[in-house]
Structure 1
């Protein structure tokens, strides 16, 4: 071999080595490697805690949204469809068992009081009976109260109470209902699920439907599915309630060596890591490193303390959870680990993928170098 050819071979070898080293760090890829993620941990003076998922970690992080109705909402009794309310107009007929009654005209046995309006405080005024609370009572209950009051003034009075005008109790159903509108609280629709059914059900997938009830200044939310599985959440309605049905907007992102990379909304109330991967077609068999499935999350202080076993943490912490699907319990851990709103699930590439990509890039460059060497007389 000539001296010139030997020199050319050395140049090509050095160029190959330099190109291979450079290619390992500069070639396009889907994200950081497993080694690089660990290098950014707190143990290596990074800003995130890297934690391997096990049974204890899965339990400590399985925190679901705190949804449901309070005791104040659940403890409210069902109201009657004929309950009197402020603003209603009542008609009264009072029969007296005497010829010269308190309220009747001479020769008449009954007194007709055409219109008595319930004032804003829920009260009415009846001559000789005084001010009486009407709101909250049914016409029958109010009849008994008036009879008792008048019985002290005239013997054996007979009273008839009717509601002449007034809309009664109503609720508003808005959002993802089958038919939005204002609905009366009637005997068949005195509970939340019955009213939703009367409004045409829900027009969004029921698995991710959220139901918010606003009562006065308070609003509380529950999953529609929980209303059926937990009868205590099927609360009694009150006049003026607003029922707002909306779709669950929680979402997570899946990146890296998976079937597809996408931002996904929750399809059920609870999604585990294994289900999240299944939604994007699982791991890419030609690219993925099954020992390097990561979940990136900003963890609240209380959960971070429980996971890390530390009491010196202040505020939310960046945690990176590691799932190794090749371990004996790896698939079980992935099945038990609950994904939360805002999580990023990232699957690293296998080391051989980066190597193959680098070699392919180098040999492509080497062909160009060889051609250039031939052009200048290097064989």
Structure 2
């Protein structure tokens, strides 16, 4: 075989290999920037592509609004010694007779009634005094009521009433706390923060902890950090309150030329685009195009109409927000633009990366052609 024929065979083999690589497509982490723009609404696509600026950051900055309603905030502290249905009482009666006491045996002047349960209607039963209303009274008020009932049957009885921790004035605490359970409302634990401390505090970071309180079928919630920062949110508790501590489950997904491609849970109430990139190790310096940082989101029609100056959009709209970190204000825009639950943060590869991959493919194809030629020779 002549030299020209060998050279022609090598060239043909190279062209076939390069054509094969081009047909299959070069490996990459996702779409190019131009491909994303090609899917825009302006080019007959189904997504609106919007460059990020101050106006966009302000309109899209939506944070979950938590707070207790007026029914929770207006409740006053309950008296720590007010008796409620379900409470347990300890009652002691001292009689001024020795030979024939009303309640005790002969010679027994002190009679103790331990673990007296207040029934569902709020009453207790005391021998010789009968059924007495206890719920809503203080121990001293109940003591006087029992004394009046017994005074006609035994001379000058001395009565003491002690409210024990019971099921009547109690709340349920569950979720991400140190100790879950049913806890009585006592003098030191009449407010939300005090009861959480009684339950051992939260077992998740304060910055991402949500406190949910249910009372009489109504539920309100706040950030735990807001509770600590604002004493006005430290509501008074009521019997039967259900308190649940949960960790914020909002998250976003990072893809493309970032340090890590993964799902990231929010670590604070608000996460900016620059913080989101930092959480995944920033941009991959070998691959990333700092002009091609995208945030993909389904935006409510109200926000989409405001951004686009329209009024006709209905339902959620696909939005693609573009951040160019090379602009003089690019990093400021990334700092001000807030990430929301369910967002996808995608970073495209730099154009030169594709050139490198193409050259690598051609180089590899040439080497393969040479090897094939050598084998043939």
Please state which band the TM-score falls in when normalised by the shorter chain. Answer: 0.7 to 0.9
* More displaced 10-residue stretch of structure 1: 339-348 or 200-209: 200-209
TM-aligned CA deviation for residue 14 of structure 1: 8.4
Give 1:64 deviation, angstroms: 0.5
Deviations 1:115-162 (A, max 9, x none): 99866455899xxxxx99864443456789x7xxx9xxxxxxxx9884
**Hey, what's the Cα distance between the residues in 2 that align with 1:176 and 1:165?**
28
Specify every segment of 5 or more residues in structure 2 that has no aligned partner in the other structure, as ranges: 94-112, 126-130, 150-157
Partners of 1:217 and 1:286 in 2: how far apart? 56
Could you list the per-position Cα deviations for residues 299-323 of structure 1 after superposition, in whole angstroms to 9, with x for gaps in the alignment? 1122222222211011011111100
RMSD of aligned Cα (Å): 3.8
State the partner residue of 2:292. 292
Say if 2:227 is the partner of 1:230.
no
Q: How many Å separate the matches in 2 of 1:75 and 1:227?
A: 16
Distance 2:272 2:329 in 1: 15
Contact 1:24/1:354 (8 A) holds in 2: no
2:371 maps to 1:360: no
1:308 aligns with 2:308: yes
What is the aligned partner in structure 1 of residue 341 from structure 2?
A: 341
Cα 1:143–1:375 change in 2 (3 A) is closer
CA contact (8 A) 2:139 2:163 kept: no
1:3-14 matched pairs, under 5 angstroms: 4=4, 8=8, 11-12=11-12
Distance in structure 1 (CA, Å) of the matches to 2:163 and 2:191? 26
- Alpha-carbon distance in structure 1 between the residues aligned to 2:229 and 2:163: 41
Written as runs of structure 1 = structure 2, the 5 A alignment for 1:107-146 is 120=120, 135-139=135-139
Task: Indicate the residue corresponding to 2:153 in structure 1.
Answer: none
- State how 1:1-379 maps to structure 2 within 5 Å: 4=4, 8=8, 11-12=11-12, 15=15, 19=18, 23=22, 26-87=25-86, 120=120, 135-139=135-139, 162=161, 167=166, 168-372=168-372
Q: Write the distance in 2 (CA, Å) between the matches of 1:6 and 1:83.
A: 104
TM-score, scaled to structure 1: 0.79
SS at match of 1:82: coil
Instruction: Note the C-alpha offset of 1:234.
Output: 1.2
Give the Cα separation in 2 of the matches to 1:309 and 1:206: 39
Q: How far off its partner does 1:348 sit?
A: 0.4
Q: CA shift at 1:57, angstroms?
A: 0.6
What is the aligned length? 347
User: 1:368 aligns to what SS in structure 2?
Assistant: helix
Q: Give 3-state SS (helix, strand or coil) of 2:239's partner.
A: coil
Task: Tell whether the 8 Å contact from 1:255 to 1:344 is kept in structure 2 after alignment.
Answer: yes
Of 169-178 and 36-45, more deviation after overlay is shown by 169-178
Cα shift at 1:206: 1.6
Name the SS of the counterpart of 2:297 in structure 1.
Answer: strand
TM-score (structure 2 length as normaliser):
0.79
How far is 1:252 from its partner? Answer: 0.8
Q: Residues 373 and 166 from structure 1, CA distance in 2 versus in 1: closer, same or farther, beyond 3 angstroms?
A: closer
Distance 1:141 1:334, change over 3 A: farther
Structure 1 residue 7: Cα displacement: 8.2
